[in-house]
Structures are given as structure tokens and as C-alpha cells.
Amino acid sequence: MTKPRNYQTEAIIIKKTKLGEADRILTLYTPHLGKIQAVAKGVRRPRSKMSGHLELLTHSLVSLARGRNLDTITGSQTINSFLPLKSDLELSSYALYAIELVNQFAADDVEDYPVFQLLLETMKNLSQGGDKELLLRYFELHLLNEVGYRPQLEQCVSCHSPLKEVTNAFSPGAGGMLCPACRQSQPFSHPLSPEALKALRSLQNDDYSAASKLKIDQKLAQHLEMVMRNYLRYLLEREVKSVAWLDSLKAQGR
């Protein structure tokens, strides 16, 4: 069956790249087409009618025409501009981190409606305030769940015994928790307190309304951040670019 030449989709703008004098290639995350790329012609000109609807971190309804290599955006209408995310530098940095992770983990042209929903909800929740660190950890764990890298937090990944309420360890290379006995054979693992493991399990298993009620002090929050960052770095085989900016803004805030 041939696909229609023109089509429309909801999309969250997750990346933009300059093309020529006035155009851009945009990476869009959509509910039913997954991650797609398209050209927005003339969008960098001052008088472009579409530019405001195609900014990063915008949820838009986008009209496209199929092309040989890349499709072309022919129209766009904002559904939610998420202004709080654009008018607050710190909130921007959290949201840019989230879209970068989606861009890194999502394959092109593979539908994953739960990832679209997760990203949309994360942007809505960030816009409404609350515990941003907790929200990012929730986002990371649920994104990993969707893309096939769910960390094993219930039992030891090596001997499969249930974890006792002691200091166990998280191993990025093994993809989850190790009991104290098995930890000896895994040099690149990080000790994880019972409180930290409990928090990660709650973030992994609960919906956001339940997980957001967790009370996490700064020390524990930093510990959870380190564990997740190490795991993400291991999976992606490099740093997430937006982390440096996120950290510098947090340092200024302190």
C-alpha cells in the first residue's frame, strides 16, 4: 500500500540542525512514527511563520510532505509551547537533558507510544514545578524500561538471590544489583545503601503520582544521580552532552 504524499502528526521537537542559509533539519518525536527527521525550509528567516511552532521543547501538530530522502514540513501549529521550560534556564537544562536522552536511545522510525507519552508527561511535570531531580530519575528509569535496558533491582544479577537489606552494589556492566558476595568479582560497581535501593525501586515500579511523594534528601538525591549517570554513560559509551550545562546551572544555584 503506498503511503499518502502528505500527512500530519503530533510531534515534540527534540533536536534542530542548521541547513544552508535559512533552513533547518528537525528531529521530531512522534506518537506513532517514532523519531523522524524533516526539513523546515526558510525557518531561520526573521519572517518565518513556522519558526515559533518548531522551537525545541515544543509540542506541535506538524504537516509534512514526503520527499525522496527527507520529508519537508509544510505547516505547523503549537499544541503546547511549554513556556516555563523556555523562560527558566534551570528548567530548560532539565528538559534539554530529557530530549537528548530520548534522541540517543530511540531508533529512527520505530513507533514507541509509551516513550512519547513519558516525554510529554515529563515536560508537563517539569513545567509545573516540584522535585526536578526526582522527576529526572523517574524519567530515566522509565525510559530505560521502554528501550530495553531496565536495570534489575529486585535480585542479584549474578547469583539471582533476593537482596537483603544491607549495602548491596549497582553494576552498570552487569545491568543491575549485586549482593555483597558477588560484588567481589565486579570491580566497577558502586555501593548502594538500602535507602537508595528502596528509592530506585519505587521510582521504577510506581506511577509518577506515587513516586513523586518520595522524600529524598540532598545526599541521597546526589547518590541516585551518580548511579543513574554511570549506568547511562555505560550504555551510551559516552557522556550525555547536556549534563555539563545542567551541572553548571545547579552549581550556580547553590
Written as one string, the DSSP assignment of 205-243 is HS-HHHHTT----HHHHHHHHHHHHHHHHHHHTS--THH
Question: Mean pLDDT over residues 18-46, rounded?
Answer: 96
pLDDT at 199 exceeding the cut of 80 = yes
Write down the pLDDT at residue 207. 94
Length of the chain: 254
- Percentage of residues in the chain with pLDDT exceeding 90? 86
Instruction: Calculate mean pLDDT across residues 122-150.
Output: 95
Q: Is the pLDDT of residue 249 over 80?
A: yes
Map out the domains of the chain with their CATH numbers.
6-81 (2.40.50.140), 84-253 (1.20.1440.120)
**Which SS3 state, helix, strand or coil, does residue 7 take?**
strand
pLDDT for 186 equals 81
| Residue 211, pLDDT score | 92
Q: What is the pTM of this model?
A: 0.94
